[in-house]
Amino acid sequence: MRYYDKLIFELSRPGRSGYSLSLKNRATLGTVRGGTTSEAQWWGPKDVFQGERTAAEGIWREAPLDLPEVSEPDVVRHYTNLSQMNFGVDTGFYPLGSCTMKYNPKINEEVVSLFNGLHPLQPESTVKGARAVLDFMDKALAAITGMKHFTFLPCAGAHGELTGLMLIREYHMSRGDSARTKIIVPDSAHGTNPASAAVCGLDVVVVKSRPDGLVDVEDLKPLLGPDIAGIMMTNPNTLGLFERDIKEIAALVHECGGLLYYDGANMNPLLGVVRPGDMGFDVMHLNLHKTFSTPHGGGGPGSGPVGVSERLVPFFDKPRVSGFHGNFGVIVRACAYILSLGRENIKMAGPLATLAANYIKESLKDCYKLPIESVCKHEFVFDGLLEPNGVTTLDVAKRLLDYGFHAPTIYFPLLFHQALMIEPTETESLQTLDAFIEVMRTIAKEAAEDPEILHGAPHNTPIGRPDETSAARQPVLKYSAE
């Protein structure tokens, strides 16, 4: 990776351009409206959009449009240079916990463009192929999760959570059960859970984890009552542990009249092993960009389809949470992934991901602090170094960048102060895992012998640690020529 300091605006020169527009047959069209649109009026300084500028009620833009003026080669070279300061799954190992950074197959990219020309409001009879993709995915995801139906409108995991909670509220409201305004969320939950609940107008009640990292059923019991809309569970949870009391939890929550929400961010290890529908969940979302291999794109577009059990089927497509049919292009990619894996291979994904996580955990627990000794699922959490010597989790994460790996998720979950959350996925080879383990051991050794090198890391990246404090105190959020 090489530091490159330009912004596109700094390449701009007045009068340069990169566009290519067809201006054919202008003579014919120029006659429209009594021939008022002569060449000069279109492109000249007194064009059609300036006609009313003198009027107070002018509807045309008066401010100059400050976009870069660059050529096509400028653009290609600039963004190619930018890309070279980026690290992706195709660059190297990306053990980012709870993000399931698995390999993104290339055939999936190729088939998407086949649908590019379809307008979202075209009549059903002209989009049978696109509808067939959605129908296939509805059935496929239902088969994999044990839910009845899926809506594809949500564009991301958090968006799916929100949609699922809307369905829970809709269910209670339809029964006249309007007092159910509280939702239970474990203290180990993803930050999006309570945030989605708040957006959905629900009050969050936190249920504690036991020392073994699982939801404390005894702490849960007194929370249940006629004001509880439901519970949001992540299973396996963010510590990578399977909530083995789920049967009792489901029974207790259902008994009090609440519903169970399944946060599908951690679905990957259950592929081929457990179906959320069978565990008693009423509604769930999947992250197609995690479990079903669609690329993360630097933070979207994703897709967060929401599945429902029988009792929510009457409501499942009611909340209109996005503009058209959801992120259709992402759904197509996930569809290609399911077809490629087929029923034979998809059931191997979960166990192989789980195997990789346990392999790393067991290989490093003599240098990193493992707060909960247990077989994990797809991910696990270390609470920093066994012998930190002043070295923090942030230092370890930054040093990993020097060695050509992405960092794990850090400082989450909040249950531990020095959390390092590692998720390797099933698409990494034993050689890659061994190389990562080797580097993690080297870092532990450096911590003992030369902690300074860790405090100053990273050293080999395009930039070093930035000054985030002044970025937040005096925000500079857009370019302005100096």
Partner 1 sequence: MGTFAYFPHTEEDIRVMLERAGVSSLDGLYADVPPEFKYKGEYDLPSAMSEEEVRSWFESLVSRNTRLKVFAGAGAYDHYTPSVIPYITSRSEFLTAYTPYQCEISQGTLRYIFEWQTMICALTGLDVANASMYDGPTAAAEAMRMCVACTRKRNTVVASSALLPNVLATLRTYARYSGINLVETWSVAEAVAEGTLDLAGVIVPSINRFGIIESHLGLASLVHEMGGLMVEYCDPSALAVVKTPAEWGADIAVGDGQSLGIPLCYGGPYVGFMACRNEWMRKLPGRIVGQTRDAEGRRAFVLTLQAREQHIRREKATSNICSNESLMALWCTVYLSIMGPEGMRKLNAICYERSHYLHDALLATGKFTDPFEGRQFLKEFALKPLCDVAKLQQALLDAGFFGALSTEEGYVTFCVTERRTPEEIDALVKVVKEAAL
Partner 2 sequence: MSRIIEGLLYSESHEWVKVEGDLAIIGVSDFAQAEMGDITYVDLPSEGDEVAAGEEFGALESVKASSELYCPVSGTVEAVNAELEDAPEKVNEDAYAAWIIKVRMSDPSELESLMDAAAYAKIAE
Q: Which parts of 411-440 interact with partner 2 (CB under 8 A)? A: 411
- Answer positive or negative: Cα dihedral of 14, 18, 19, 25: positive
Collapsed DSSP state (helix, strand, coil) of residue 463: coil
Q: Whose Cβ is closer to partner 2: residue 243's or residue 395's?
A: 395
Which of 5, 468, 476, 478 binds partner 2 (CB under 8 A)? It is 468
Q: Find which of partner 2, partner 1, none residue 126 binds, CB within 5 to 8 Å per kind.
A: partner 1
Which of 45, 116, 218, 449 binds partner 1 (CB under 8 A)? It is 116
Q: How far is the C-alpha of 456 from the C-alpha of 316, rounded, in Å?
A: 51
| Contact (CB, 8 A) for 42 and 21 | no
Q: Find which of partner 2, partner 1, none residue 90 binds, CB within 5 to 8 Å per kind.
A: partner 1
Q: Whose Cβ is closer to partner 1: residue 228's or residue 448's?
A: 228
Give me the 284-303 binding string for partner 1, x by CB under 8 A, dash otherwise.
---------x-xxxxxxxx-
Q: Considering the complex, what minimum distance in angstroms separates the CB of residue 477 from partner 2?
A: 14
Q: Considering the complex, what minimum distance in angstroms separates the CB of residue 298 from partner 2?
A: 21
Q: Which parts of 197-256 interact with partner 2 (CB under 8 A)? A: none
Residue 420 binds partner 1 (CB under 8 A): no
Q: Which parts of 358-417 interact with partner 2 (CB under 8 A)? A: 411
Q: How far is the C-alpha of 273 from the C-alpha of 426, rounded, in Å?
A: 15
Q: How far is the C-alpha of 311 from the C-alpha of 138, rounded, in Å?
A: 17
Contacts of 44 (CB under 8 A, 6+ apart): none
Q: Considering the complex, what minimum distance in angstroms separates the CB of residue 407 from partner 2?
A: 15
Q: Which parts of 339-378 interact with partner 1 (CB under 8 A)? A: 339-349, 351-352, 354-356, 358-359, 361-363, 374-375, 377
Collapsed DSSP state (helix, strand, coil) of residue 50: helix
- Tokens representing residue 36 in the block: 């008022």
Residue 169 binds partner 1 (CB under 8 A): yes
Contacts of 48 (CB under 8 A, 6+ apart): 36, 37, 41, 42
Q: Considering the complex, what minimum distance in angstroms separates the CB of residue 355 from partner 1?
A: 5
- In one-letter notation, the amino acid at residue 106 is K
Residue 68 binds partner 1 (CB under 8 A): yes
Q: How far is the C-alpha of 252 from the C-alpha of 206, rounded, in Å?
A: 16
Q: Whose Cβ is closer to partner 1: residue 220's or residue 241's?
A: 241
Q: Considering the complex, what minimum distance in angstroms separates the CB of residue 475 from partner 2?
A: 9
Residue 139 binds partner 1 (CB under 8 A): yes
Which of 33, 106, 128, 473 binds partner 2 (CB under 8 A)? It is 473
Collapsed DSSP state (helix, strand, coil) of residue 143: helix
Q: How far is the C-alpha of 123 from the C-alpha of 479, rounded, in Å?
A: 44
Q: Considering the complex, what minimum distance in angstroms separates the CB of residue 218 from partner 1?
A: 19
Looking from the CA of 160 toward its CB, the CA atoms found within 13 Å total: 28
- In one-letter notation, the amino acid at residue 353 is A
DSSP secondary structure, 344-410, as one string: HHHHHHHHHHHHHHHHHHHHHTTTB--SS-S--SS-EEEESBSS-TT--HHHHHHHHHHTT----EE
Q: What is each CA distance from 247 to 4, 114, 206, 251, in whole angstroms? A: 55, 44, 20, 6
Q: Considering the complex, what minimum distance in angstroms separates the CB of residue 394 from partner 1?
A: 11
Q: Considering the complex, what minimum distance in angstroms separates the CB of residue 387 from partner 1?
A: 23
Peptide bond into 236 cis (omega under 30): yes
- Residue identified by tokens 């090489």 is 2
Q: Whose Cβ is closer to partner 1: residue 381's or residue 433's?
A: 433
Q: Find which of partner 2, partner 1, none residue 141 binds, CB within 5 to 8 Å per kind.
A: none
- Tokens representing residue 295 in the block: 């690329």
Which of 23, 55, 472, 477 binds partner 2 (CB under 8 A)? It is 472
What value does the CA radius of gyration of the chain take, rounded to a whole number of Å?
27
Q: Which parts of 192-221 interact with partner 1 (CB under 8 A)? A: 192, 194-201, 204
Residue 469 binds partner 2 (CB under 8 A): yes
DSSP 8-state secondary structure symbol assigned to residue 416: S
Q: Whose Cβ is closer to partner 2: residue 73's or residue 475's?
A: 475
Q: Which parts of 447-466 interact with partner 1 (CB under 8 A)? A: 458, 461-466
Q: Which parts of 243-272 interact with partner 1 (CB under 8 A)? A: 244, 246-247, 272
Q: Whose Cβ is closer to partner 2: residue 381's or residue 394's?
A: 394
Q: Find which of partner 1, partner 2, none residue 178 binds, CB within 5 to 8 Å per kind.
A: none
- In one-letter notation, the amino acid at residue 349 is A
